[in-house]
Amino acid sequence: MWQLIQHFVSPRKFFILSNKIMPWLAALFLLTFSYGLIGGLLLAPGDYLQGDAFRIIYVHAPCAFLSLFIFAVMAAASVATLVFRLKLAPLVMRHSAKIGAGFTLLALITGSLWGKPMWGTYWIWDARLTSELILLFLYIGIILLQSALQHKSMSDRIIAIFILVGFVDIPIIHYSVYWWNTLHQGATLKLFARSAIDSSMVYPLLSMIIAFLSYYTLVLFIALRNTLVAENTHWLQENKS
């Protein structure tokens, strides 16, 4: 079973499978992003308290979700690097860091823009905002470690350990609104309970989350493929022949 898993996630197998998956990811992104944008900006009604200012949620919430999701993916890749020594895992860690940093920065910026009309200030040292800012620093720290450490195998292990230590921030971000008295609202979408907003607002939001997920996956696949081409031109040429 383990040999089958290793074969499935091998660089050669990934390159072949990703070549088939990427067009579908691009189509999924265009479809869900278009619906989410039109549904969120035009079709969904204004909030009864916030008016049209709430529409920034269609960018802010997906970015905030991706900032946590990508770090969770990196933590899983760290375990795969340290324990199972999968060849693709270190590359997933490295390429995901920059993408995750971008989504985290966008989450903080859009949250600040949303906070100004709602709270009267762009920034407050709220538990959710502060822990999200710490997440951005973690991403930046990972990127800096990648540049500073030259020995590849050693740097992969150090970065993996750093990611696993930093992963403690993820549950803190998620549960901060429940553990402490914060200005930040609770979860808009709930897995096992009714959504806090109307379905006409929920579906475009879900569509945008799927769009951002497909975008992350597509960009990650492109980065992985480019690295594999640069480092493994011999088997790539064999595969073409």
The phi and psi torsions of 142 (rounded to 5 degrees) equal -65, -45
DSSP letter for 122, please.
S
Rounded Cα distance between 136 and 94, Å, is: 15
- pLDDT of 68 over the 50 cut: yes
Candidates 164, 211, 197, 203; CA nearest to 32 is 211
Residue 148 gets the label, from left (phi > 0), alpha (psi -120 to 50) or beta, of alpha
Q: How confident is the model at residue 63 (pLDDT cuts 50, 70, 90)?
A: very high
- pTM for the whole thing? 0.90
Supply the CATH classification number for the domain 32-240: 1.20.120
With a pLDDT cut of 90, the percent of the chain lying above it is: 58
pLDDT tens, position by position, 207-232: 999 999 999 999 999 999 999 888 76
Domain ranges of the chain: 32-240
* Beta carbons of 132 and 107 less than 8 angstroms apart: yes
pLDDT tens, position by position, 5-61: 565 578 888 888 899 999 999 999 999 999 999 999 888 887 767 777 789 999 999
